[in-house]
Amino acid sequence: MTSYSGFPVHETIELQEIFDIRRAVDRMAEAYARQGDTGDFSYRILLPKAEKSNSKAKRLGIAFQGEFVLALRKKNLVPNVREVRYIHDDSHYGWLLANPQVFERFEKEP
């Protein structure tokens, strides 16, 4: 595990199937609309890590990313989100989506 496992987020969302994406995107787009300008937007997305193939995680990630950007554009919001992808644990990939200010605060901590 990397130090990003302890990254401070408002919520961690686990995506297991395609149908999980819509609910996650709606929740995150609403949060971005409320928190985006304050620099406090931060979410962790957990994607399934398979032993033999990570194609499911890739499919979920690509679908999620497209839906999230589309949801922000529908709300006339310009995304100011930095992302980091990492190995979260033995069974999950982690994907952090946060305002750049959140990453700056985290990287400055001792």
- CATH code, domain carrying 13: 3.30.110.10
Residue 42 belongs to domain spanning: 8-108
Average pLDDT over residues 11-36: 92
pLDDT (0 to 100) of residue 45: 96
Considering the chain, what percentage of its residues have pLDDT values greater than 90? 59
pLDDT (0 to 100) of residue 93: 92
Dist CA 103 CA 97 (whole Å) = 10
pLDDT (0 to 100) of residue 83: 93
Is there a domain that residue 13 lies in? yes
Average pLDDT over residues 66-80: 92
Considering the chain, what percentage of its residues have pLDDT values greater than 70? 93
Is there a domain that residue 2 lies in? no
Is there a domain that residue 45 lies in? yes
Tokens, residue 9: 């987020």
Is there a domain that residue 1 lies in? no
> How many domains does the chain divide into?
1
